[in-house]
Structure formats: structure tokens, C-alpha cells
Chain A
Amino acid sequence: MSDARPEQELKNPQSTKPPLDPHLKALENEAIHIFREVAAEFERPVMLYSIGKDSSVLLHLARKAFYPGRVPFPLLHVNTGWKFKEMIAFRDEIVKKYDLDLIEHINPRGASENITPFTHGSALYTDIMKTEALRHALDAGKFDAAFGGARRDEEASRAKERIYSFRTPDHRWDPRNQRPELWNIYNGMIRQGESVRAFPLSNWTEVDIWRYIQAEDIPLVPLYYAAKRPFVERDGMMILAEDARLELLPGEVKQEGMIRFRTLGCFPLTGAIRSEATTLEDVIAELEIATVSERQGRAIDRDQSGSMEKKKREGYF
């Protein structure tokens, strides 16, 4: 094999993990390279942290990239106030454990105008509480580069996203006019007010993410694993019903069953799947036979055709 690795690696006594296979190692190397390049070229980078599995992998790679130093930029969590409770608890634990700087931003319009996913519909709610909130938070921090965990295999419009994705001062993405990106040489030159979104996981697939989580023993929010949980069925989705914020509509009944989540977002907009997969191994085994993509549980992608592209143009991640 032309890319065979040296056999004899001195293992860190604290580490009991076998070395990564060459496939994951190549993806890891590429992501670390991107992290270092952005940290070196930009004045105020920030890492978007959504607490989900991709963010967890992203954070792990950031820690690797800058070891033995600290992660040299803050994490930004754009909270909507409607995240799963377990996500917030997990976030706070991770920030403490790894000595990270966390910035949390909630759009004040949510409270002042009482904007909720129930009253405003997922499109408007997402626009204000996620897209607008993200723009405000990036402006407030004067960040010139923001890392995100987006992958090209996630959705059609992302297949053409660059690794360094250029944004205008008002955070717009112009898919018709992207900078060409050749080899692994990234163009980080921007003017005042402009910014770049950097995607170290661009070339990862969902399967790669899970295999890496397993190989590197990365902690995740427990909602990714199946457990007996209360839920209601709404618009063809199973919505978690353990939260007082969820009001049952006429005709809805609280049910209980073994469920888990393939992606995590705002609990009223994120559908669960029925699953018996209580461990990481089970989850991966389930993936092997999965015939539905992970974004299927996301209401926001389905509002209209091309909806992700539209949101991205307006500044959504």
C-alpha cells in the first residue's frame, strides 16, 4: 500500500486506543490542517458549536490540532431557548471539562416578541432565532472566520460549498460566485467586515462521523442513544414530550417507546426514530442498514424545495 504507515508507533501510556485506520486518519489530518490554517491566517476566529455529534467531532479535532496548547478561539452556541434540556447540560459539562471559552447568544426578539416554533412556523422561527441570531452574534464578536461542522454529503446545495466559504459583510453566500479552491491551498484574504466560514468536515460522511466517534471515544449527548422516552406524533414526526414547553394539541396523546435522535436541534422541530440502539455499536449497526438520510428528521429542510440553499444565502450555516 503506497500510503502504508510506520508500524511501530510509540503509544502514549494514557491512550489505549488502536491507531486510526488510514481512511479516518486522512480525514483527521485534513481537518487539523484546516483548523491550523484558519487559526494562523485570521485575526478573530470562532467555532460554531451546536452540541450535536458533528460539533462534538469538530471540537475533538480542534483540541487535537492545537495540542499541547489550548483551543485558541472561543466556541459560539446560538441558542434558541428551545434546545433539548440534555443538550445544555452536556454543553456545560464539556466546556468545563476541556477548559473552553463559550459564548452563548440568544436572539432577544425571541423573548420580547414571544417567537416560538409553535406560534411562528418553522421557517420564520428559524430565520429569526437561528439565522438572524447567528448574524448578530458574529457581528457582536467581530469574528472574521467561523468554523462550522457542515458536510458536503448532507444536502444538495452543500455539495458545492467550499472549505473556505466566503461571506459578504452582511453574511451572504453567493453560490454562483464562489472562489475556486485548488489543492489544499485556501485563499483567506478578505476585506474589513467580510468573513469566511470554514468547514473542516467538508469531506466527511455520516458514516465517517460515527466511525470516528467510536474510534476516538468521543462523548455525545445521550439523546443519540435509544431509551424509553415520552413522545407525541405531530406532522409525521415523533416529538419528545418530556418538556413542559410542549403543549399538546387537540387529539394528540403522549406515548412512550424506545426512541433516539439522529440529529439534534430544537426539540419541537426534531423528529425521533424508533430504535433499540442503546450503545454506539448498536447505532453504527443500525446505520449500516439505514435507508433514510439523517436530515429527514429536520422539519426546516422540507418547508420548500431548495430551502437549505435559500437559508444559506441569507446567512444560515
Chain B
Amino acid sequence: MTAQHSATLSILPEAAPAKALAARDSRPLRLITCGSVDDGKSTLIGRLLWDTKAVKEDQAATLKRDSGKQNDLGLPDFALLLDGLQAEREQGITIDVAYRYFATDRRSFIVADTPGHEQYTRNMATGASTADLAVLLVDARAGILEQTRRHATIAALMGIRQFVLAVNKIDLTHYDRAGFERIVHEFREIALSLGVKQVTAIPMSALKGENVVYEGKAAMPWYDGPTLVEALELATIRSSQAVGFRLPVQRVSRPGESFRGYQGTVAGGSVKPGDSVAILPSGMVANVTQIVTFDLVRNAAVAGDAITLVLDRQVDVARGDMIVSIDSQPQVGLSFDAQIVALQPEGIQPTKRYWLKAGTRRQRVSVQPLTLLDLKSGAWNAAESLPMNAIGKVKLSFDEAAIFDPYEQNRATGAFILIDPDTNNTVAGGMVTGKQATVDGIHRDGNRVILSLPADLADQIMASELFASRRHEAEVKRLTAAEAAQFWDDAASDI
């Protein structure tokens, strides 16, 4: 074994750009790489890991032992490093999402590496669900393909708003600038049509290591943009801090008579002691007295923080409830519109009832497919069921109140999974677009009353058991006195 180590020393990069241990000023950037083997995706990820020194000598030695072959530059076959499972090695295909880790001195990165061909919708959706950014890989000789368009569409649907277009194998076009610019122009139009404005396009050769970690100035003096790693270092990290406070309750902590805290991860906004909060779906109101963590009694918590919240009064709070800011609440209702990705061979059937898990809340749901996305044309066609890998628009109907924000506004409180009660398998991932506009069920044709009350009186009424039991039938909007006056004026003039 030791002999193999010294043998591999010569193929390690001489200068390491990455010093991994410096304190980092941001959380890891999560990205997804989209492309196929033909585009050189394995080579690109291998190159990233190699040039940032995420590959260690013994792993390289195993690689050399297993492959026995090297590419033209004396580097091992990167695909072997990435394809972890024996079944994949034997079949020469990548079959699932794998996660890779590398770091520079500025930031660390988590790459969701998904296969380009088989079942790519399912795997891409999985990888994209947590990604801040998508790297879309194209072969400089082939340009934009239909699959590039599909990958971009899925990434955008899953809420990714930053794209890096990696135009790989540029060396094989003799570093043709005009060709590169044609590809970039075509891609920008696709991205814009999907609502994605942030696009960084980079000409590169993953094989030669140009514009991946190290710059490719010598070969491409005409390109003065960032390398791939520089673009990733500069990318913004998605955050849900600008929206209303959300705490899906994971568990209630009662270590003794004197302490009762609600544990969970802040899924949006921020909170501080003294804030008024509502508990959904009951609608009861309380004030925050303490934010407890292991080392600190904190005076604020923000999106992403795992905390324990203490309230000023005895209220009924259980796992699955959501504690939210009183003046910016999510939607509560029995019926929502959503987009889903079908993940299993049995697809999604309209007659079947599923479990839906969103945040910490799990409840029964009926799913009615409405339309299905044709990834080739971008059109939504009518559909009655969704086969595996289909993306569809659906209507969700619940027996008990559900709590969501639109996914566009808050990924953490707008996302859900569907679980088949027969197999317990995860059969779909979904994103809520909004509450169904019409009031459902038996009250649809009944009369409604709009009241305008002082906030404290409204809070007392909403804290009552009667109100709480029918909270999902009510719509609540908080206004200033002046806004309320304006509202009545406008309403009067409409009548």
C-alpha cells in the first residue's frame, strides 16, 4: 500500500489553490450539475475535486488500481472516482444522485451530481430541490441541445434562479470565440423565457483544467470572465429571511414542570423575544418570551436556526403546528394548487389518497392532476394522471386545514412530498403555487360577513375554541386603521 502512495504523488497538482480550514463567512453553496456523460460531466466534477485537492492520495491509488488507464494528461479516469456503487461500475452508468464536497479558501460547496440520461427528471428534481445554483453543461461542438432546454426548465421549476452555462470541450473547437458567443446568446434566451436572469457563461476545457479552477488565459486570451470556481464563490445563497417568521414545530420539549419549549428550525423570517405570534392552524395568539439554545439565550433567531421557543402563556401546540408572525401569515386552507414531479413507476393516480408531508406536518390528501408539462415544447397539456418523471399541475384537497406559503415566496414552507400509504415510498415532490381561490365544500354557496375589529378584540375572538375549530374557513387580513377605512370606502363605492 505504501508503495502506491509514493507512486501517486507525481500526479497530484503542485500548487493547491485551496486551504480548507479558514473560517468561512457563509454556509456551503449547494449546486446541481446537469449534463450527460457525453458533455464531459464526470470529467468536470472530477477536475473540480482534483484541482481543489478534495481527492486524497489513497483514493487516487484505488482509482489507478481499478482503472489501470489514464487519460492523455496522465490523470486517472475521473468517472471511477464518482461512480460509487458497484452496480454502476459494472454497467457503466450513473443511476442516482450522489453528493460531492469540495472547498476553496472562500467557501465550501456541496454538489448534487445527477445522471444525464435515465430518469433524469426524477433525479434532477431531487438534486435541484436543495440547490442554490445550477451548472448546465454543454459540449462546445454540439451547442444547445434539447436536453439542455429540459434541464434548464426543470431547474427553473424547482426554484433555481442562478445558472452557470459551462461550455465544455472548447479546446476541441480551437477555442472558437464566435461559436461560444452563439451558444451563450441562444442559452440566454431560454433562461429569460424561464424567468432566470442570472446567467454566467464560461468557456472551458474540463479535461485540460482550463477555466475550471485555474484560468485559461493562455489558450483563451479573449475571455476575461470568471473561472467556474470564481463564479461559484461569488454566487448568492438563497435565503428566506425577508419573509414572515415561520417555525414548523418538530417537538415539544418538557424536561420538567417549569419548562415548556417548542423545538424546530426557523423556516422563514426572524423572531425576537416580545414578538407576537400566531399558532396555526388554531390561530391562537401568544408572545415570545425566550429563544433557548444550548450555549446562548439569544435575542434573535433567523431563517435556518434550530431553536427552542418559549411562549408567555399556556397554549395548545403540537408537532405539525406552525408558529408564525402575527402580521404576515401563511395561507391556511383545505384546497391548494401545486406543481408536482412524479417520482415512481406507478405515477400519480387521481383516485388514490396519499400522505402529504410538508415541514413537520403530515396529513391525508387527494391529488387531482390537471395538466402535464411537455418538456420539449414547454406547453401544459390536459392530463388525468401523471406517469413517472412527469411534471404536472394538480389540485390538492385536504380533510384538515393545511398550511403553506407559495413556493416562490418561501421554499421551506411551500414544498412537500407525497407518500404512498401502501408502499410508504416517496412518490412525488411538490411545490405549492397558492390557495385555491374559491372557498370549498359545503360553505361555498353560503353568505360571508366581513368584519373590521380592533386587533386586540380580533385576537381574543380568534383565540376562542369555536373560531379555532373553523379557522380554515376564515380569511384574516391585518390592516392599519387608515387602510381599513380606505377598504370600507372602496367597498362602498363598488356596491
Contact of A29 (CB < 8 Å), options: B59, B265, B295, B358: B265
**Chain A neighbourhood of B62, CB < 8 A:** 305
Contact of B302 (CB < 8 Å), options: A6, A40, A153: A6
User: Which residues in chain A, 18-48, are within 8 Å of chain B measured between CB atoms?
Assistant: 19, 21-23, 25-29, 32-33, 36-37, 39-40
A122 CB to closest chain B CB, in angstroms?
A: 14
CB pair A39–B25 under 8 Å, yes or no, is no
Count chain B residues whose beta carbon lies closer than 8 angstroms to a beta carbon of A: 94
CA distance A183 to B253 in the complex (A): 25
Of B66, B107, B238, B305, most A-chain CB atoms within 10 Å: B305
User: Which residues in chain B, 469-484, are within 8 Å of chain A measured between CB atoms?
Assistant: none
CA distance A12 to B416 in the complex (A): 37
Q: With A6-B302, A36-B250, A36-B251 as given contacts, are A17 and B84 in contact (CB-CB < 8 Å)? A: no
User: Which residues in chain A, 229-250, are within 8 Å of chain B measured between CB atoms?
Assistant: 236
Q: How many A-B residue pairs have CB under 8 A?
A: 233
CB pair B239–A3 under 8 Å, yes or no, is yes
CB pair A191–B306 under 8 Å, yes or no, is no
Give 9 pairs: A residue, B residue, CB < 8 Å, sorted on A: A1-B26, A9-B299, A21-B23, A23-B23, A26-B304, A68-B261, A160-B96, A175-B85, A175-B87
Contact with B along A137-170 (1 / 0, CB 8 A): 0000000000000001101111110000000000
CA distance A108 to B85 in the complex (A): 33
Which stretch in B125-133, B192-200, B201-209, B459-467 binds the other chain?
B125-133
**Chain B neighbourhood of A23, CB < 8 A:** 23-28, 107-108
Of A2, A182, A187, A190, most B-chain CB atoms within 10 Å: A182
**Chain B neighbourhood of A293, CB < 8 A:** 56-59
Contact of A284 (CB < 8 Å), options: B21, B56, B110, B419: B21
Which stretch in A59-67, A78-86, A113-121, A126-134 binds the other chain?
A59-67
**Chain B neighbourhood of A183, CB < 8 A:** 129-130, 411-412, 415, 417, 429
Does B20 lie at the interface of the complex (its beta carbon under 8 Å from any beta carbon of A)?
A: yes
CA distance A205 to B49 in the complex (A): 13
CA distance A265 to B411 in the complex (A): 41
Minimal Cβ-Cβ distance residue in A for B303: A3
Does A251 lie at the interface of the complex (its beta carbon under 8 Å from any beta carbon of B)?
A: no
| Partner-B contacts on A (CB < 8 A) | 1-3, 5-6, 8-12, 15, 17, 19, 21-23, 25-29, 32-33, 36-37, 39-40, 63-70, 152-153, 155-160, 175-176, 178-185, 187, 189-191, 202-203, 205, 207-208, 210-211, 236, 284, 287-288, 290-293, 295-296, 302, 305-306, 309-310
Given contact pairs A182-B129, A183-B411, A185-B359, a sample of 13 additional A-B residue pairs in the complex whose CB atoms are under 8 Å apart = A2-B236, A9-B298, A10-B298, A15-B295, A21-B24, A23-B24, A40-B319, A66-B253, A153-B100, A159-B82, A176-B87, A291-B12, A293-B56
CA distance A287 to B83 in the complex (A): 26
CB pair B66–A292 under 8 Å, yes or no, is no
B270 CB to closest chain A CB, in angstroms?
A: 8
B215 CB to closest chain A CB, in angstroms?
A: 24
B410 CB to closest chain A CB, in angstroms?
A: 12
CA distance A310 to B419 in the complex (A): 29
Contact of A175 (CB < 8 Å), options: B20, B96, B241, B305: B96
Q: With A3-B237, A207-B21, A292-B5 as given contacts, are A159 and B86 in contact (CB-CB < 8 Å)? A: no
CB pair A187–B424 under 8 Å, yes or no, is yes
CB pair A3–B27 under 8 Å, yes or no, is yes
